[in-house]
Amino acid sequence: MDFLVGGGWERVVGGESGAEVFRRGGVYAKCCSVEGIAELRGERDRVGWLAGTGIPGAEVVDWIESEGGAALLTTAVPGVGGGELPASRRAADSLAGIVKALHEVPVAECPFERRVDDVIGQAGDVVRRGVVEPDFLTDEWRLVPPERLLAGLYAELAEVKAKADLVVCHGDACLPNFLFDPDTLECTGMIDVGRLGIADRYADLALLKAQLEDEWALDATEFLTTYGLAEPDGQRLTFYRLLDSLSWASAALE
């Protein structure tokens, strides 16, 4: 993006948001067009808020906004993304600890919400436009029309909402968004918190369970037990995993 100050910026590959990410030294710059400014501004506010909670993560360095778009500059969190690590029980235990710590931040202190009604509405928009990302669906779900998958979520929505246990959630709790010390395998912090907000804790746990099983081929039972959930709610684990899968639009289909 031409509104980044100075040279030496290296493009970083990865991410699903559609924003462009660059790195220079110990600073990352996430850049967007005019259409994405409001969303990126929301991420800026969440990064700043999280930095004040004691939960390890990035800090805001600068915010640049112009007629052409905006850039959010943040500090780099030390370590490597969980997606780059081999399967590790120790890393999974450390991950459980930092997620638990986030979920224990008092909800009264969090100014952001990620209401399930809003997320299912977002999923509905993705489904109606026919741009569901097939890579985020299980083999079984790919055999079902997205409209039927969405209808199933709506059928369970009232029951799931009645059981909700609201906490401060990451909102996109996938392995690449958690950093680890490659030597100690301790979790060093979290990134990409643009979806952070008050939500049912299962919104994070469902995605993490799927990631640990699919990416690390680990039994997530130990992770959930370490987190403090010895008897997880299977309905909500399935509901929130499918909801997340339907809420991402495929860039290739748009």
We report the CATH number of the domain holding residue 196 as 3.90.1200.10
Per-residue confidence (pLDDT) for residue 17, from 0 to 100: 59
Shared domain for 85 and 59, answered yes or no, is no
Opening angle at CA 59, ends 53 and 64, nearest 5: 135
pLDDT tens, 5-42? 677 899 986 555 568 899 999 999 999 999 999 999 99
Per-residue confidence (pLDDT) for residue 2, from 0 to 100: 64
Q: How many CB atoms lie within 10 A of CB 22?
A: 18
Per-residue confidence (pLDDT) for residue 16, from 0 to 100: 53
pLDDT tens, 162-183? 999 999 999 999 999 999 999 9
CB of 172 within 8 A of CB of 195? yes
Where residue 252 falls among pLDDT bands split at 50, 70, 90?
confident
- DSSP code per residue over 65-101: EETTEEEEEEEPPSSEEGGGSPP-HHHHHHHHHHHHH
pLDDT tens, 67-108? 889 999 999 999 999 999 999 999 999 999 999 999 999 999
Shared domain for 68 and 169, answered yes or no, is no
CATH number at residue 58: 3.30.200.20
For CA atoms 221, 226, 230, 236, give the dihedral sign: negative
Shared domain for 48 and 61, answered yes or no, is yes
Per-residue confidence (pLDDT) for residue 8, from 0 to 100: 86
CB of 19 within 8 A of CB of 40? yes
In this structure, of 12-21, 53-62, 240-249, the range with the lowest mean pLDDT score is 12-21
Contacting residues for 74 by C-beta, under 8 A, at least 6 apart: 27, 28, 30, 47, 58, 59, 60, 61
Shared domain for 62 and 178, answered yes or no, is no
Where residue 112 falls among pLDDT bands split at 50, 70, 90?
very high
Shared domain for 33 and 120, answered yes or no, is no
Among candidate residues 53, 50, 71, the one with its CA nearest the CA of residue 61: 71
Per-residue confidence (pLDDT) for residue 139, from 0 to 100: 95
Please report whether residue 3 resides in a domain.
Answer: no
Domain termination residue (choose one: 53, 75, 97)? 75
**Mean pLDDT value across the chain:** 94
CB of 115 within 8 A of CB of 206? no
pTM assigned to the model: 0.94
Domain termination residue (choose one: 36, 59, 75)? 75
pLDDT exceeds cutoff 60 at 133: yes
What total number of domains does the chain contain? 2
Q: Is 135 a residue of the active site?
A: no
pLDDT tens, 191-244? 999 999 999 999 999 999 999 999 999 999 999 999 999 999 999 999 999 999
Shared domain for 133 and 41, answered yes or no, is no
Contacting residues for 210 by C-beta, under 8 A, at least 6 apart: 241
Whole-number CA gyration radius for the chain: 18
Spot the catalytic one: 172, 192, 200, 244: 172
Please report whether residue 63 resides in a domain.
Answer: yes
CB of 233 within 8 A of CB of 105? no
Domain extent at residue 29: 10-75
pLDDT exceeds cutoff 70 at 1: no
Domain termination residue (choose one: 39, 55, 75)? 75
